Amino acid sequence: MIPLIEAELRKKDWISEEDMPDIVVLAQSAPGILAVNMAIYAGYKLRGIKGAIAATIGAVLPSFVIILLIAMVFTNFKDNPIVVKIFRGIRPVAVGLILIPAINMAKKGCKQWWTWLIMLASLLAVAFLKVSPIYIIIVCIVIPVCIYIINRNAKEAQGQK
């Protein structure tokens, strides 16, 4: 979804390339579906509250109707061996569709070596150590705040000498 949404928002010149990583992080941080959160942001940016409401309806309604229709039809075919094999084949495609935007975001967001290190450590912690992403987010907020406070106190201490 991310590359499709980004392409559409950029094509219509609703956001800049520099805004996209921030929008994705903000949309992922908020509760709810990423596409809906991004639509809310774009709608609000363009037309305020009315735009956010219209964008939300536009993002949710088509998917809701399609999923409802699929669910009504799928119940008759869910045990069909061909359908089961089709879904097994779709899984690797879904992984690839998630991996490509993640790599693109890493290229845009990781400008220094230490940001790459944080990204890789976070990936390994979530993937292999089963650490909850919320703990990683909290650590990535707390550590810079602590560093800032320590540096500020050190500068104040030097200023008093």
* Average pLDDT value for residue range 61-72: 90
- What torsion do the CA atoms of 8, 14, 16, 17 make, to the nearest 10 degrees? -10
The 10 Å CB-count burial string (b at 16+, else e) for 144-161 is: eeeeeeeeeeeeeeeeee
Which tens digits make up the pLDDT trace of 80-129?
A: 899 889 889 999 998 888 888 888 888 888 889 988 999 999 999 999 99
| Rounded Cα distance, 125 and 147, in Å | 22
Tokens of 54: 């219209």
With a cut of 90, say whether residue 61 has pLDDT above it: yes
Query: The whole model's pTM is what?
Result: 0.50
Residue-wise pLDDT for 116-145, tens only, equals: 999 999 999 999 999 999 999 899 999 999
Which of 2-11, 113-122, 144-153 is predicted least confidently? 2-11
128: CB partners within 8 A, 6+ apart: none
